């Protein structure tokens, strides 16, 4: 989804796309985003735009912020057999209004678009100018025109030296000037309440900030241990009563059950190691409970499969997790994975080579059930017992919806711009409705906002 889907855009806002132009205000920005097509993916469509390496700086005064990052795109249509890679740098400005951070300026500096099958060494795709109904309101600033080799400005100092980033002699930078005048300075207001109440509120807000960092650390730690198949430390990341979904199998409840189940998997360090499953848990959306003792995390899975004998290509999914502060340590309460929203047939064919499976009536017969080995460590909660929340996903009830068909995408929070409920809304963990004992609210924790 585009950047603007996460943080509300204010009326005095602008979107600049270096190769296209500037769009002023929410209605025009919506027109710019609709260049990708109408809302909602159709069969075989992929519009995966992942934000990576985001660096954020709060400006003096605390009411403005800037962010710089990389957008890695995977686009295409399996119905047409088309696939593209894109790469861009985004430079955003934010403003804090009534305690809420909102997007004020967004700059996109496209660096590359290439056909997947040929790669960036051979293919350079140049999009045509936008149609009249998607035309920009004005041209980009002269200081934002991308010339060959131009570098979007690094507004932060080098984190190691504290000095401005050094570029090669003669390098051209873009993105210096503002798109809009600086926002009006907010009027300082006297803190409400007596000193004791103000201190208590300051402590609560500090706890919320620390919780955000704790949640982000747990998000990264889980992916790192999973990549290394290091299941012992992975299990210890969980709370005593936490639970984890094993893909396509079910949910294991309790730290000891998670560790024991993972012990049935191959240990790390096998030699020779024949495959490495890469789990990039990117772009986390973290919501913290009011008391700062729990949080929810929604992160994107970008998975690169690798093997000495077979490469499965790039795949994508979505994690919907929860963390809690247990005995002064941040722990995972629930880890649930929805996958795969798209899958590559192979690195050669990529995601655009996928075809719908044959109807059940034409599929070859499955091996006899009596020949299948018994599950040596069955889950506490099979996915088939989770009802509609797992419908369509492999291992869940009903028929599996496999790419290039479009799986339902679940959200545990409302639209942050409009407050509208998403089509697929599930505010707690996947198993919490059918199995209330797995909900952290029944173990003394507040649910994060939804």
Q: How far apart are CA 188 and CA 183, in angstroms?
A: 15
Domain annotation covers residue 205:
yes
Domain annotation covers residue 391:
yes
Domain annotation covers residue 180:
no
Among candidate residues 64, 301, 269, the one with its CA nearest the CA of residue 180: 64
The pLDDT of residue 10: 64
Give yes or no: residues 26 and 102 share one domain: yes
Domain annotation covers residue 291:
yes
CATH of the domain at 47: 3.10.450.50
Provide the mean pLDDT of the chain. 89
Q: How far apart are CA 354 and CA 345, in angstroms?
A: 6
Give yes or no: residues 328 and 380 share one domain: yes
Residue 444 tokens read as: 């003394």
Tell me if 151 sits within 8 A of 157, measured CB to CB: no
The pLDDT of residue 1: 34
Tell me if 144 sits within 8 A of 174, measured CB to CB: yes
The pLDDT of residue 358: 76
Domain annotation covers residue 186:
no
The residue from 118, 143, 174 where one domain ends is: 174
Give yes or no: residues 225 and 303 share one domain: yes
Domain annotation covers residue 163:
yes
337 phi and psi, to 5 degrees?
-120, 130
Give yes or no: residues 127 and 275 share one domain: no
Domain annotation covers residue 371:
no
Give yes or no: residues 90 and 135 share one domain: yes
Q: How far apart are CA 72 and CA 216, in angstroms?
A: 21
The pLDDT of residue 376: 80
Give yes or no: residues 279 and 149 share one domain: no
Tell me if 65 sits within 8 A of 72, measured CB to CB: no
Give this prediction's pTM: 0.90
**Which regions of 78-146 does DSSP assign to beta strands (E)?**
82-97, 100-115
Give yes or no: residues 209 and 148 share one domain: no
Domain annotation covers residue 189:
no
Task: Give long-range contacts, CB 8 A cutoff, 24+ apart: 99-103.
Answer: 100/8, 101/7, 101/65, 102/7, 102/8, 102/9, 102/10, 102/13, 103/3, 103/4, 103/7, 103/8, 103/9, 103/10, 103/13
User: How far from the centroid of its chain's Cα atoms is residue 362's Cα?
Assistant: 37
From first to last of the 450 residues of the chain, give the pLDDT tens digit.
334 334 556 678 999 999 899 999 999 999 999 998 888 899 999 999 999 999 999 998 889 999 999 999 999 999 999 999 999 999 999 999 887 888 999 999 999 999 999 999 999 999 999 999 999 999 999 999 999 889 999 999 988 899 999 999 989 999 999 999 998 877 766 677 799 999 999 999 999 999 999 999 999 999 998 888 788 899 999 999 999 999 999 999 999 999 988 777 766 556 666 777 789 999 999 999 999 999 999 999 999 887 777 667 899 999 999 999 999 999 999 999 999 999 998 888 999 999 998 775 555 555 544 555 667 889 999 999 999 999 999 999 999 999 999 999 999 999 876 788 999 999 999 999 999 999 999 999 999 998
The residue from 139, 174, 209 where one domain ends is: 174
The residue from 140, 174, 208 where one domain ends is: 174
Give yes or no: residues 272 and 330 share one domain: yes
Q: How far apart are CA 449 and CA 287, in angstroms?
A: 6
Give the H/E segment covering residue 46. strand 45-58
Give yes or no: residues 256 and 397 share one domain: yes
Give yes or no: residues 353 and 282 share one domain: yes
Domains held by the chain: number: 2
- Domain with 260, as residue range(s), is 195-357+376-443
Give yes or no: residues 17 and 60 share one domain: yes
Give yes or no: residues 290 and 320 share one domain: yes
């Amino acid at each position: 989804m585009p950047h603007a889907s996460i943080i509300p855009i204010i009326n005095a806002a602008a979107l600049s796309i270096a190769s296209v132009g500037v769009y002023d205000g929410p209605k025009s920005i919506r027109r710019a985003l609709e260049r990708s097509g109408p809302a909602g993916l159709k069969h075989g469509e992929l519009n995966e735009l992942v934000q990576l390496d985001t660096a954020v700086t709060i400006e003096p005064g605390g009411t403005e912020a800037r962010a710089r990052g990389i957008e890695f795109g995977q686009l295409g249509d399996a119905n047409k057999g088309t696939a593209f890679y894109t790469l861009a740098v985004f430079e955003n400005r934010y403003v804090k209004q009534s305690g809420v951070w909102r997007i004020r300026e967004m700059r996109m500096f496209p660096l590359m678009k290439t056909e997947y099958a040929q790669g960036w060494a051979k293919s350079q795709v140049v999009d045509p100018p936008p149609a009249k109904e998607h035309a920009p309101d004005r041209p980009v600033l002269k200081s934002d025109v991308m010339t060959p080799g131009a570098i979007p400005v690094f507004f932060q100092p080098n984190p190691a030296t504290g000095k401005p980033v050094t570029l090669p002699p003669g390098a051209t930078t873009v993105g210096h000037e503002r798109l809009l005048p600086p926002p009006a300075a907010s009027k300082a207001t006297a803190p409400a309440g007596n000193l004791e109440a103000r201190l208590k509120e300051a402590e609560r807000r500090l706890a919320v900030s620390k919780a955000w960092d704790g949640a982000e650390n747990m998000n990264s730690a889980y992916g790192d241990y999973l990549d290394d198949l290091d299941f012992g430390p992975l299990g210890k990341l969980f709370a005593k009563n936490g639970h984890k979904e094993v893909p396509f199998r079910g949910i294991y409840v309790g730290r000891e059950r998670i560790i024991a189940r993972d012990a049935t998997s191959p240990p790390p360090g096998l030699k020779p190691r024949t495959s490495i499953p890469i789990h990039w848990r990117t772009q986390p959306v973290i919501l913290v409970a009011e008391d700062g003792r729990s949080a929810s995390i929604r992160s994107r899975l970008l998975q690169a499969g690798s093997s000495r004998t077979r490469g499965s290509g790039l795949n994508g999914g979505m994690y919907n997790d929860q963390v809690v502060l247990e005995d002064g340590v941040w722990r995972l309460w629930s880890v649930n994975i929805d996958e795969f929203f798209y899958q590559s047939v192979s690195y050669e064919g990529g995601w655009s080579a996928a075809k719908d499976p044959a109807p059940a009536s034409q599929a070859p017969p499955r091996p006899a059930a009596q020949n299948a080995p018994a599950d040596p460590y069955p889950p506490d909660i099979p996915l088939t017992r989770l009802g509609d929340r797992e419908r369509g996903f492999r291992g869940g009830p009903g028929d599996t919806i496999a790419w290039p068909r479009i799986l339902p995408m679940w959200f545990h929070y409302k639209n942050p711009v409009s407050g509208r409920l998403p089509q697929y809304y599930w505010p707690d963990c996947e198993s919490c409705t059918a199995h209330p004992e797995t909900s952290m609210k029944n173990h003394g924790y507040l649910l994060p906002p939804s």
